[in-house]
Amino acid sequence: MRSRKKCSFISRNKERKGRRLTGGRLVYLTFLLPSLGGVCFFVLLPFGDVVRRSFVTAMTGEFNGLENYKTVLVNQAFLLAVGNTLRFVAVCIPLLLAGGLLLALAMNKIPVLAYAKSGFLLPQAIPAATIVLVWKLIFEKQGFLNGMLHTGIDFMDGRAAFWVLVGTYLWKNLGYTMVLWMAALKTVPEDVLEAARVDGAGSVTCFVRVTLPCLKGAAYTIGLLSLLNAMKVFREVYLIGGAYPAKEIYLLQHVFNNWYTRLDFDKMAAGAVLAAAVLGTGAFLMERRLWAEE
Amino acid sequence: MRSYQRGKGKTALVLFLAAVLFTGTLAGCGGGTSDGAGTDGPEQEPVFGDGTAQTAMGRYTETELSLTENGQYQDFCQLLAGEGELYIPAYNSAGVRVGLEDFALKEEPDEELYPEALKTRSEEQDYLMDMAVADNNARMYTVFVSEGESGQESFYYDKYFLSADKTERLWADAVDKDTSVDFRYGGDGWFYVSDSWGKEDTRFYRVSAQSGETEYLCELEGSVIYFTICGNILFADMGDGIHMYDLEQKQEMEKDTVLCDFIGSDSRYSNGSMAFSYLLCSGKDDSIYVVSQKGLYRHVLYGGVMEQLIDGSLCSLGDISKMFIDMYVEESENGMPVFYLLYDTAELMRFAYDPDMPSVPDTVVTVYSLYECDNVRRVISGWQKKRPDVYVSYEVGLSGSDGVTKDDALKNLATRLAAGEGPDILILDDLPYASYKEKGVLADLGDVYEKLQAEHGYFDNIISALRDSGKLYCLPMSFVVPVLTGEAEDLKKIDSVESMIQAIRKKEVPAGTFKAGLRDEESVLQCLSFSMGQSLVREDGTLDREKLERFLELAKELYEADRENMSPEQLENQQLILQSFGSLDAQMRNRQGYYMSKKAGTLLQVNLSFGRKSGFTMGNLEGDIRYGFNDFYTLVQMQGHDYTVLPGEGKTCLPISMFGLSSASASPEAAKEFLQYALSDYLMETEHIDGISINRDALLKNEENPERDEAGNPSYEPYSYQAFSIQDGGRFEFEVAWCQPEVYESFNALLDGLDNVNLCDQMVIGTVLEEGVAAVNGSKSIEETADAIEKKMQLYLAE
């Protein structure tokens, strides 16, 4: 009797689960609704409009087919900006991820350093305008660095400018990335590490075979955040070099900014769609690969 | 069951919270309506229950009365109320009387009001300053006295009291003769005096209009900018706010912070000739009236608000070219007084309340310019007088007071244009004209020009050069012409930049003189860019490297030729002048844009004022006839020169105040009417604009000599005297007379012969001016400089 009751409860529960699942989903959806609505309203809908604009002329709104895309894909300024942005990302992200992780490991190994954790976040709190001012004082032709080296190199122009920018980005974001890695390192199961050590694995083997695989999920998030921060570096470049900085640090946002000023909305929309497609595809593939491996 | 109900309750709560959160999110970012900050547009009209907008009624309207005599200004000093009339005394005449009822000039000025002593001074051409007149016709004034030989003179100020019985006596009771003073009549039987100008502190006195007795009042810290008497209070603007002194209690009162804040930047200048940028006048009870370019306001002393009665942007008050001399308020029974305002342009305005006029005009036309444009301000002021039913809202992208950069301003404008909420009229100076034209932002003005041509003659040679595939996307209000001055024989041999440089090299001038008066690298580049700048960029948008190198070569040659006669020591000595002139010119360029710098007249003055008779001078010929061309031609003659168009890519001119009509204009008809007014009626009515009028008929009208001799024939005697202090302590002075008709004929022929309009890209020119300096002075090679320019321009042109 009791077991029958139990069974009937289970079956009723199953039955209800089927119906209630919809109600549960509704609750989740309701929780999601504000942010989902915000994303739709402020991101997806405007982006939809950008996609529409990429097929029409800038001010008159006449259908222009793929002309805008063709114009953008042969535009030397756009291609240069894309190249520079990709180069910047390709150099900065690995350096940042590796540097942050090394620092985080060092922090874990040397407890005294943990006291300096907050100090690493300080660059994040300094306003961009201040950073730029200091950077100018240091790197300009008449700056401190040239004074010390007795040289007359304009580090804000030419190839050196790119590396100054890379340095700025790393200096600003390394502490934040390190904190993220430290949080991720705490999620690595200690018993698995212990088991590996018992099996005779050294520290390097433990790190490569146990710690790193456990950090994959975090790596994706940290990588994505670093990528987004890399896109924000435009603020510093704009303050250093204005709308037309040295060729080497002319980024994608420069070309969009200047097109906007001259009402080249058609080119801007096409460029934005292309950039979004590349970034979106990259992120999607990276995510797919990570999920597949897991 | 209870658990199920609890579950339902939780779901409902969650749904409710989510709804609140979602609504809050959207509400926080909702469209809403603009609070109007940063714009001077009219307020929204109230909408009533039936959904129709009901217009609020009642507004002050203005009536103008010109006080000029035979087209000549009289130097009026004050408004004085009499029986049903206003008496407006002048320095060198009896003045005029205006009836309050009919607001018209009385037939004959009352000679009785013009004391003999003043007549004599006028005949002896004494220079009278700062006059105040009392109700009983007693007067106080200053006579400026200059003694000694020209260039070595000493100056002082004799102050006089002229009693009601017309006895003149020197007033030296309190102030020595080296000190200049300001006089005001307080309307209470007393003259008020401040010993102002250049003193660390200012003392105030009052002098009885009856007896001439002097009474010391007070001393205030600082130099007085403006003072007046309203009721029993002396208001004095000492630069740090308005000080108030109680004339009954004989003590300084606490400052009225609302009044001080309101006056703010308006207090910072007066033109030094008893005309001011704002005025105060007493009102009923404890109130005062304040008039400035912002409008006319009523303020109760120590009250918290400034109540606007008249919006300056809707009438002549907003005209920046006018300053105020005096105001008279005639209180009325309905509580809306009539205001009489005397401008320094010899115009008397009457502002009377009209209850039948909509408080805010129904139609609004928005005009946008990147820089503050004096021409546009003047046109708007004239338009508002003529068409009070159409409000013109003027927006300036770079006001200079809010830290907005050019890039920011252009982006803001782009956002508005993209949203279809852009201005109706764009002043295209320094805006990306080519891009706007290509994107369809600008409407074709062909029909507007056709209508204009039906009424007046225009410089069609210039307008035609602006046409693009038969369409006309901009109409300039005026233009400047880059000119070269030199001896007539030398000018005949010049037909290109190369031959000009050759002529400059051959020219013999005294040692220590710049041969072409150019002085520095940037001046050389700038002058050449006026006539050659446009060709540096090809039609396909790429930089013409060959032409750029040639441009730099020519600039270098010109620079070297200019300073051939200067030793290193002499160049060193010139450094200070170069810096101060360069900074003045840069200020002009920053304020009014590239085209308004390097004025030929100013350059000639600089040359002559230092006794340097350079072989040639080059710069922009701009300005109206009376204050522009006549001054320029006088200076050209003083130098023994003639003038011609600066050689380069054709006979070039630079358009200024270029009007463009937005293709998305909300009020296209009103905007077109405004354009027509600006280029037709306004130019025909005015004689003072920046640049040479595009309306040829208006120019011809302004060339007609208004000066008359005693027999009423055209006079060619000097009408203007100008003097400047120069570095060695001496003075440079010259007199300007109206030119002979043949001078204007040859000027008109030069203008008719212009065939090229320079619409060079400011970004390109800016880079050439910046980088080109190194090539011109030889610190870098031509190739290196061209590389640097190309490198800088590469991105811009590639976009």
pLDDT digits (tens, 9 = 90+) for B299-351: 999 999 999 999 887 788 887 778 899 999 998 877 889 999 999 888 899 99
**Chain position carrying tokens 């208006």:** B698
- Looking at chain B from residue 395 to 454, which residues have their Cβ under 8 Å from any Cβ of chain A? 407, 410-411, 414, 417-418, 432, 435-436, 439-441
What total of structural domains would you count in chain B?
1
Name the E strands within B274-362. 278-282, 287-292, 295-300, 307-311, 324-330, 338-343, 347-358
DSSP output for A31-93: HHHHHHHHHIIIIIHHHHHHHHHTTB-TTT--B-TTHHHHHHHT-HHHHHHHHHHHHHHHHHH
pLDDT band at B607 (very low <50, low <70, confident <90, very high): low
pLDDT-wise least confident of A177-181, A199-203, B454-458, B771-775? A199-203
Instruction: Please determine, for residue A114, whether its predicted confidence score (pLDDT) is greater than 80.
Output: no
Does position B298 have pLDDT exceeding 50, yes or no?
yes
- Asked if residue B767 lies in contact with residue B789, where contact means CB atoms within 8 angstroms, the answer is yes
pLDDT at B609 over 70: no
pLDDT, one tens digit per residue, over B534-560 is 888 887 778 889 999 999 999 999 999
Range 371-390 of B in CB contact (< 8 A) with A:
none
* Distance (Å, whole) CA B202 – CA B174: 12
**pLDDT, averaged across chain A:** 84
**Given a cut of 90, is residue B132 above it in pLDDT?**
yes
User: Element (H or E) spanning B477, and its range?
Assistant: strand B475-486
Which range is least confidently modeled, B174-183, B407-416, B727-736? B727-736
Q: Which chain A residue lies closest to B797 (C-alpha atoms)?
A: A77
Phi (first) and psi of residue B133, to 5 degrees: -125, 135
State mean pLDDT over A197-222. 87
Q: How far is B431 from chain A (nearest CA, A)?
A: 9
At residue B234's C-alpha, the angle toward residues B231 and B238, to 5°, is: 150
pLDDT score recorded for residue B234: 94
Instruction: Pick the more confident residue, B73 or A233.
Output: A233
Q: Is A9 on the interface with B (CB under 8 A)?
A: no
Closest Cβ opposite residue B441 in set A76, A242, A263: A263
From the list A23, A59, A77, the residue facing B439 with the nearest CB is A59
Using DSSP, state whether B308 is helix, strand or coil.
strand
pLDDT interval class at A3 (50, 70, 90): very low
Contacts of B578 (CB under 8 A, 6+ apart): B519, B520
The tens digit of pLDDT for each residue in A27-61 reads 888 888 889 899 999 989 999 999 999 999 888 88
Contact B432 A60 (CB under 8 A): no
Quick one: pLDDT at residue A14? 46
**What integer is the mean pLDDT of A7-20?**
45
Which H or E run contains B168?
strand B168-170
Cβ count near B633 (within 10 Å): 25
Asked if B432's CB is within 8 angstroms of A57's CB, the reply is: no
Instruction: Kindly indicate the confidence band of residue B730, based on its pLDDT and cuts at 50, 70 and 90.
Output: low
Residue A43: list chain B partners with CB under 8 A.
none
Q: Does B13 touch chain A (CB under 8 A)?
A: no
Residues making up chain A, counted from first to last: 294
**Contact present, B525 and B532 (Cβ < 8 Å):** no
The pLDDT, as a whole number, for residue B589 is 47
- How far is B733 from chain A, CA to nearest CA, in Å? 46
User: Which chain B positions have a beta carbon within 8 Å of A58's beta carbon?
Assistant: 439-440
Interstrand relation of B347-358 and B324-330 (parallel, antiparallel or unpaired): unpaired
Q: Do B794 and A38 touch (CB under 8 A)?
A: no
Mean pLDDT, rounded, of chain B? 82
Of B265, B341, B254, nearest in space to B301 by CA: B254
Q: Provide the sign of the torsion angle of the four alpha carbons B483, B486, B491, B495, taken in this order.
A: negative
Tokens at residue B75, please? Answer: 């130097």
Query: What residue numbers bound the domain in which B738 lies?
Result: 478-653+714-798
pLDDT given for residue B597 in this prediction: 53
A244 reaches B (C-beta below 8 A): yes
Bigger pLDDT: B263 vs A9:
B263
Higher pLDDT, A98 or B148: A98
Confidence of residue B11 (pLDDT cuts 50, 70, 90): low
Q: To which H or E segment does residue B375 belong?
A: helix B374-386
Residues forming a β-bridge with B349: B64, B341
* pLDDT surpasses 50 at A267: yes
In a domain, B646, yes or no: yes
A137-191 confidence digits (pLDDT tens) = 888 888 888 888 888 787 877 788 888 889 988 998 999 999 999 989 988 888 8
Nearest CA-CA distance, residue A95 and chain B, Å: 29
Chain A nearest-CA distance from B668, in A, is: 17
- Give the long-range contacts of residues A50-55, CB within 8 A, separation 24 or more: A50/A269, A50/A272, A50/A273, A51/A269, A51/A273, A52/A269, A53/A265, A53/A266, A53/A269, A54/A266, A54/A269, A54/A270, A54/A272, A54/A273
- How much is the pLDDT for B601? 66
User: Quick check: B407 and A261 CB within 8 A?
Assistant: yes
The phi, psi pair for B528, rounded to 5°, reads -65, -35
d(CA B97, nearest CA chain A) in Å: 56
The length of chain B, given as a count of residues = 799
Give residue B197's pLDDT.
58
Answer yes or no: do B18 and A34 touch at CB < 8 A.
Answer: yes
Least confidently predicted of B418-432, B505-519, B563-577, B618-632:
B563-577
**Structural domain contains residue B196:** no
Q: Tell me the chain B residues in contact with residue A57 when contact means C-beta distances shorter than 8 Å.
A: 439-440
Yes or no, beta carbons of B407 and A262 under 8 Å apart:
no
> Is residue A262 less than 8 Å (CB to CB) from chain B?
yes
B799 within 8 A of B432, measured Cβ to Cβ: no
CB neighbours of A76 closer than 8 A, spacing ≥ 6?
B798
Pairwise CA distance, residues B686 & A223, whole Å: 67
- Contacts with B414 from chain A: Cβ below 8 Å: 260-263
Please, are residues B309 and B371 in contact by the beta-carbon 8 Å criterion?
no
Residue type, A74: V
d(CA B221, CA B238): 7
CA distance A178 to A121: 9
Q: Is residue B98 within 8 Å of B82, Cβ to Cβ?
A: no
Question: DSSP code of B679?
Answer: I
Each domain of chain A, given as residue ranges in start order, spans 1-53, 68-293
Q: What is the pLDDT of residue B524?
A: 87
Does the pLDDT at position B31 exceed 50? no
- Report how far residue B705's alpha carbon sits from residue B740's, in angstroms, rounded to the nearest whole number: 9
- Is B794 in the A-facing interface, judged by CB distances under 8 Å? yes
**Phi, psi (deg, nearest 5) at residue A185:** -65, -30
Pick the residue from chain A with its C-alpha nearest to B8.
Answer: A23
DSSP structural state of residue B264: G
Nearest to B414 among A27, A31, A260 (CB): A260
* Averaged pLDDT, B88-96: 86
Non-local CB neighbours of B389 within 8 Å, separated by 6+ positions: B358, B361, B362, B363
Instruction: Please give the residue that has the higher pLDDT: either B628 or B729.
Output: B628
Q: How confident is the model at residue A4 (pLDDT cuts 50, 70, 90)?
A: very low
Q: Cβ of B756: how many Cβ atoms within 10 Å?
A: 18
Q: Kindly report the nearest CA distance between residue A184 and chain B, in angstroms.
A: 32
Angle at A180 between CA A177 and CA A182, to 5 degrees: 110
Which CATH number goes with the domain that contains B579? 3.40.190.10
The pLDDT score that the predictor gives to residue B20 is 53
B796 touches A: beta carbon within 8 Å: yes
How far, in Å, CA of B408 to CA of B418, rounded? 15
Q: Say if CB B270 and CB B292 are below 8 A apart.
A: no
Instruction: Pick the residue from chain A with its C-alpha nearest to B21.
Output: A34
Over pLDDT 90: what percentage of chain B?
33
User: With contact defined as beta carbons under 8 Å apart, do B89 and B133 qualify?
Assistant: yes
Size of interface A-B (CB pairs under 8 A): 81
pLDDT at res. A1: 40
What are the phi and psi torsion angles at B511 (to 5°)?
A: -60, 145
- Eight-class DSSP state of B103: T
Q: Give the range with max mean pLDDT: B140-149, B221-230, B719-728.
A: B221-230
In a domain, B142, yes or no: no
Residue B505 CA to residue B559 CA, distance in Å, equals 10
Query: What SS3 state is found at B253?
Result: strand
Is the alpha carbon torsion for B624, B629, B632, B634 positive or negative? negative
DSSP secondary structure letter of residue B747: H
pLDDT of residue A8: 42
pLDDT at A18: 47
The secondary element (H helix, E strand) that includes residue B741 is helix B741-752
Report helix angle A265-293 to A45-53, nearest 10: 130
| A22-36, A60-74, A179-193, B688-702: segment of lowest average pLDDT | A22-36
Distance separating alpha carbons of residues A170 and A93, to the nearest angstrom: 9
- Chain B nearest C-alpha distance from A64 (Å): 13
Q: Which of B113-122, B137-146, B544-553, B711-720 has the highest mean pLDDT?
A: B544-553
At a CB cut-off of 8 Å and minimum separation 6, what does A2 contact? none
pLDDT of residue B357: 81
pLDDT average, residue stretch A70-97: 92
Q: How far is B799 from chain A (nearest CA, A)?
A: 5
Which of A257, A263, A267, A268 would you mutate first to test chain B, the one with the most B CBs within 10 A?
A263
- Name the phi and psi angles at A262, rounded to 5: -100, 20
Q: B357, B58 in Cβ contact below 8 A?
A: yes
Helices (DSSP H) in chain A: which residue ranges?
Answer: 2-39, 45-53, 67-73, 76-109, 117-125, 128-139, 144-149, 159-185, 190-198, 203-205, 212-214, 216-231, 234-241, 252-261, 265-293
| Cβ neighbours of A250 in B, within 8 Å | 795
pLDDT above 70 coverage of chain B, percent: 83
Partner residue opposite A58 with nearest CB, options B21, B411, B439: B439
Alpha carbon distances (Å) from B387 to B64, B217, B340, B368: 14, 48, 20, 19
Task: State the DSSP H helix or E strand holding residue B757, giving kind and residue range, or none if neither.
Answer: strand B756-757
At residue B678, φ and ψ (nearest 5 deg) are -60, -40
Rounded distance, CA B48 to CA A280, Å?
51
Q: Per the domain annotation, does B243 fall within a domain?
A: no
Please indicate, yes or no, if residue B525 is contained in any of the structural domains: yes
Residues B318, B290: Cα–Cα separation, whole Å: 14
Nearest CB partner across the interface for A262, out of B18, B25, B432: B432
From the candidate CATH numbers 1.25.40.10, 2.120.10.10, 1.10.3720.10, 3.30.360.10, the one assigned to the domain spanning A68-293: 1.10.3720.10
Distances (CA, A) of B307 to B259, B298, B304: 11, 5, 10
- DSSP conformational letter for A236: H
pLDDT tens by residue, B115-127: 888 888 877 777 8
- B53 and A CB contact within 8 Å: no
In a domain, B58, yes or no: no
Residue B471 has pLDDT above 90, yes or no: yes
pLDDT of B49 > 50? The answer is: no
